[in-house]
Amino acid sequence: MQFALIPFALLPIFYTTFAVNTPVCTNGYTLINNKCLALYTIPASYSAAEESCRSVGATLDNEAITSFVGCTVSLVWIGLYCVDNDPSKCLWDDGTGSAGVYSNFASGFPHINIGKCVYYSAQGTLAGKWVSGDCENDTRAYVCELPYTIADDCTYNYNGFCYSLHSSAPFVQAQETCEQECGNLVSITSEMENRYVSIIGSRGINSVYVLIGGMCPSSNAFAWIDGSVWSYNNIDPAQSLGAGYCMITTNSKTTSLSFGFWGSASCNDAFPFICKRPAGTQCPPNQPVIAVTPVPNQPSYCNSTLLLAPGVITSPNYPQNYDNNLFCSYQLATLGSYKILLKFTGFITEYGRDIVQVYDGDSSDKPLLGTYSGNLNPFNLVSTGNTMYVTFKTDRSAVYQGFTTKVLSYSGPLT
């Protein structure tokens, strides 16, 4: 018998920080007002300007700084694209939202019949104002913006983190490699970071798919192995998350998974991977490795000692298929005079062979409430006391998705 697995949390990584974490710019950019900027004076179409910025992980500047542009150029593309004449329908290229909260359009703009892209006038009567322009036929100078970072000698330094590229390994071995560098498998927390990871991956890794530090035990439960908040999601909406708990992104535009989008994969499959660590830190040699088990956020609790309601129990690997020749027991309890309500919300096993049995008490010696197998609609069971015992036994033939069950305290009548 074993205790239930604990969902992964922040891993303790040991490193030392340099004495002065000085903000710096990479790629020859200039630090101005906490932004890293580069002015390109040769006029280009909007799409060409955007691609030029994107090539180094930058975006078109949201609002060109007049003092930076100076008298060098008069018209400059900014990173704003409009789908309607309403400023709230004008979207920033860096994924931060729309211009509905703040805009500085000249009178009569935006005007998508003139063009859906936007440029900034640095001189003349419209100085500081935004004007609509034709994305393909108009050419303008442009300013690219990168987030500043911290000085470090790593090859890929972006927004305060260092990224490193590695050849193929399964999830556990990949995470251990990253920990040796005082990092973790890469977490991706913004549109801009996702662009950057896609860029360095497509240039430095000769593979369609790249392993990242995300895990998806079900279609609505996600987590990063480094403990980062799941604040940004780029899972391909056209893909079902059924291949496994671990997550990959793609470097190719010729696969079923769209470029830069994420999908799921088996944690046992080997992929090239990207590590991420804080920039401006020095990793000591022989960095200790923390044992990592790629388990879902919500463990099965198969053969756990005790689960107090409320909670959830599932067949092992759910929503993936369970294994052959399993025996799982689940000891359930609630407090005081409460009963236990089991709500089976998903149930599909091999009929007559892979069987769930529920007992009204703390062991299999107590009265049997029911024996279940096959493809069943959601159903409920209620105990007469404050304990319940559930078993799940499979044979050596076919396997299916299994079951998921909510365990709740209940004070109503028996059903």
Q: 3-class SS at 55? A: coil
Residue 121 CA to residue 125 CA, distance in Å, equals 9
Residue 192 CA to residue 199 CA, distance in Å, equals 11
CA 130 to chain centre: 34
pLDDT digits (tens, 9 = 90+) for 24-51: 999 999 998 888 999 999 999 998 998 8
Is residue 332 within 8 Å of residue 407, measured between CB atoms?
Answer: yes
* Highest mean pLDDT: which range of 90-104, 141-155, 213-227: 141-155
Query: Taking the CB of residue 293, how many other CB atoms lie within 10 A of it?
Result: 11
Global pTM exceeds 0.75: no
pLDDT of residue 12: 43
Question: Which residue is it, tokens 């040699």?
Answer: 285
- pLDDT at 291 exceeding the cut of 80: no
Backbone region of residue 94 per phi and psi (left: phi > 0; alpha: psi in -120 to 50; beta: other values): alpha
Residue 271 CA to residue 262 CA, distance in Å, equals 14
pLDDT digits (tens, 9 = 90+) for 238-255: 666 666 788 999 876 555
- pLDDT at 415 exceeding the cut of 60: no
Q: Work out the percent of the chain whose per-residue pLDDT is above 70.
A: 84
Nearest-CA neighbor of 306 among 372, 404, 369, 387?
387
Element (H, E) at 179: helix 171-180
Residue 44 CA to residue 89 CA, distance in Å, equals 24
Backbone region of residue 300 per phi and psi (left: phi > 0; alpha: psi in -120 to 50; beta: other values): alpha
**149-282 and 304-410, same CATH topology:** no
Assign 65 a pLDDT band (cuts: 50, 70, 90): low
- Residues paired with residue 332 on neighbouring β-strands, in sequence order: 307, 388
pLDDT digits (tens, 9 = 90+) for 302-342: 887 666 667 788 998 888 889 889 999 998 887 766 788 89
3-state secondary structure 264-312: EECCCCCEEEEEEEECCEECCCCCCCCCCCCCCCCCCCCCEEEEECCEE
Residue 296 CA to residue 280 CA, distance in Å, equals 32
Q: Which residue has the higher pLDDT, 207 or 82?
A: 82
Nearest-CA neighbor of 248 among 298, 296, 210?
210
CATH architecture of 304-410: Sandwich (2.60)
Does CATH place domain 149-282 in 3.40.190.170?
no
Nearest-CA neighbor of 118 among 99, 94, 134, 103?
134
Query: Which of 122-131, 172-181, 231-240, 254-263 is least confident?
Result: 254-263
Determine the longest span between alpha carbons in the chain, in angstroms. Answer: 89
Residue 280 CA to residue 133 CA, distance in Å, equals 41
Beta strand 246-250 pairing with 262-265: antiparallel
Query: Taking the CB of residue 139, how many other CB atoms lie within 10 A of it?
Result: 17
Element (H, E) at 52: helix 46-54
CA 313 to chain centre: 25
Which class is 23-146 in CATH?
alpha beta
- pLDDT at 360 exceeding the cut of 80: yes
Answer positive or negative: Cα dihedral of 254, 256, 261, 266.
negative
φ and ψ of 301, to 5 deg? 70, 20
Assign 286 a pLDDT band (cuts: 50, 70, 90): confident
- pLDDT at 9 exceeding the cut of 50: no
Domain boundaries, the chain: 23-146, 149-282, 304-410
- pLDDT at 297 exceeding the cut of 50: no
